[in-house]
Amino acid sequence: MKQNDKPAAPVAVIILNWNGSRLLREYLPSVVATTDPAIGRVIVVDNGSDDDSLEVLRNEFPEVETIAFDKNLGFAAGYNKAIEMTRYPYTVLLNSDVRTSQGWLRPLYDFMESHPEVGAIQPKLLSDSDPTSFEYAGACGGFIDRNGYPYCRGRIFADCERDNGQYDTVADIFWATGACLMVRSELYLRVGGLDSRFFAHMEEIDLCWRILLSGHSIKAVPDSKVYHLGGGSLPASNPRKTYLNFRNNLLMLHKNLPDSVRAPKLFKRRLLDTIAWAKFVATLDFKNAAAIVRAHRDFARMRRDYNVHPDRNLLGERPDTRINILTSYYLKRKRKYSDLSFH
């Protein structure tokens, strides 16, 4: 599609692929079969794959529009370039390991059309390997606590709840899952898109924080549901994942907090991260302990890249940002979102 062409459908469903021919064969058929062509156009953006992805797309999915980059731009930059090129009114950023259900797009599109104040939304995210359970990467809508730790309706830390319909209402949330994120394309570009400096992990939370700061809200719309395989990047105990999670959480707080609260919040996070470091040392997990040290070292260097900060403090404005999820989970033994108290 040429950049100035008017899209025939209002929603671009963009799947970013890199060397994922196996996942394309497994998951793309459901997306093609369940996406109403009057609403959504399925587009696979190939991020410089050197496997047989392009051949698979050409021979097995000729009806799917393909955009091929000549090199791997990374997750964030790849999506940013694709959304800039396609310019649909709405974009769904859909992971390549997501299986969609019949009619999944209609509730999302209708909700965005009837709620212009909403900048981004997500469906109910269930586990593809256990469809009765919420999936880790966003469950039924994400939040962050007073210290910047993420949690979800349906998932606190590693504990994912069974889906018994307990969260089948539209909810105002802090962040939407990057596995299936629908956003107003113009707004996405205006707030800067995904931050490519994060590389991976928490980039969707950072994006949603900026969408909230722009004056828009973010919702979970559980009338739509999709199934996410998840766990495809790095296992939870991987030192690389530890490094990225600790570093990016610090960067996210530094970027999005105003001057009045940023320093004390970051000081408290350093103390909490020191406790996490000590726990790794005590259990002789020196690789993960070293990852935390590297995360803080690189944060100190990278923070100089971010010198524009908002005046508005979202941590404390909302009840869901006032709780301490660490004490709720570890001391009060609250394992479910419905057990949390926001008063």
Tens-place pLDDT, residues 303-334? 999 999 999 999 988 899 999 999 999 999 99
Amino acid at 15: I
Strand, coil or helix: 148 = coil
Tens-place pLDDT, residues 82-93? 999 999 999 999
C-alpha angle with apex 138: 103 to 23, nearest 5 degrees? 65
More confident residue, 232 or 139: 139
Whether 234 has a pLDDT exceeding 80, the answer reads: no
Distance CA 288, CA 286 (A): 6
Contact 39, 10 (CB under 8 A): yes
pLDDT band at 2 (very low <50, low <70, confident <90, very high): very low
Domains (range + CATH), the chain = 11-228 (3.90.550.10), 239-312 (no CATH)
pLDDT band at 200 (very low <50, low <70, confident <90, very high): confident
Whether 231 has a pLDDT exceeding 70, the answer reads: no
pLDDT band at 235 (very low <50, low <70, confident <90, very high): low
199 exposure class (CB count in 10 Å sphere: 0-12, 13-18, 19+): middle
How does the average pLDDT of the chain come out, rounded?
Answer: 95
At 3 the pLDDT is 46
At 316 the pLDDT is 82
At 5 the pLDDT is 57
Tens-place pLDDT, residues 162-199? 999 999 999 999 999 999 999 999 999 999 999 999 98
Mean pLDDT of all residues in 246-252:
97
C-alpha angle with apex 80: 79 to 81, nearest 5 degrees? 90
Q: In what order do the strands lie in the sheet with 159-160?
A: 142-144, 150-152, 155-156, 159-160
Query: What stretch of H or E contains 131?
Result: none
Full-model pTM: 0.94
